[in-house]
Each structure stands twice: as structure tokens, then as C-alpha cells.
Amino acid sequence: MLNGTGIYGDFDATRSQRLIAEMQVDFAEAVMRLAAHGLNARARNGYECNSAAWQKLRHYLRNLKPGPLIAIWESLVAADLRDVLHKISIPTLLVWGAESNFYTSATARYLLDHIACCRVSHYPAADHSPQLQCPDRFVSELHALLSGLDM
């Protein structure tokens, strides 16, 4: 991980292993803490107040099978694709929510600097999933990207 570019800007292998252990004990709560104790104060407040949205998320997460999802996490954190980013030769749209729970602007900047045909679309009031918070804008930008491709 380059300084400031990974999860929270400082989420290292030790923290990831601790998270995996926590997910094996209580998957739902571990995932919720990961989201809540990140970079977005609004998310942290919602978690601490046990808002209706967080209660709904907790219920949803408790009904998932944790094993495959933990394996996905392990796969994601094991993959270091920095050395192949420069090989991406197709137009790439990176949507970045400035209120992301997980990633700083340094991550977006790093990807922009290392993917030749990359464009960053900044969503100032969005969190980790701008495409869900601003679906019309996202669809419009994605359509513009796709309409410029020779398919």
C-alpha cells in the first residue's frame, strides 16, 4: 500500500487480518464497524446512534453467508494490481465520492496518474457508492463513456 492510497489511507495487512478474525466471529458487526469507523463522520454517527438505516443493514448482513464474503475480502486484499494499471488501454471512468468511508482523494489521484485513459468523476456529497446516491448522473456519465467506444 502506498501512503494514503489504501482503505482509510492506512489500512495495513495487520488490520486486515484483525478484520478477518472479527468477521469470522460476527460478520455483520465487523463489516458495519469497517464502514462506520472509516473516513465519513456521518456514517460513524449513524452507527453509534443505531439509526434505522444501520439497523436495516445489520439485519441484511446477518442473513448472508459469511464464508464466501470473507474469502472475497481475502482475495481483494491479496491482489496488488499497481504494476498492471499502466497496461489498461481502454477508457476508464473512476467515480469517487468525496465522502467515501474508505478512500481518500489520494487513491483517486493515484489511479488517475497510473491509468492512461482514466477520467475521475468527483461526487462531492457522495460516499463509497456514488452510483447509488446519484444514479442519473452516473448513468449519464457511463453512457457518455460507452458511446465514445468503438464497439
Range of the domain at 28: 7-78
pTM for the model stands at 0.81
Q: How confident is the model at residue 69 (pLDDT cuts 50, 70, 90)?
A: very high
Cell triple for 41:
463522520
pLDDT (0 to 100) of residue 118? 93
Confidence of residue 135 (pLDDT cuts 50, 70, 90): very high
95 shares a domain with 70? no
pLDDT at 13: 85
Distance (Å, rounded) from C-alpha 63 to C-alpha 56?
11
Answer yes or no: is pLDDT of 6 > 80.
no
Q: How many domains does the chain fold into? A: 2
Residues 94 and 63 in one domain: no
Mean pLDDT of the chain: 91
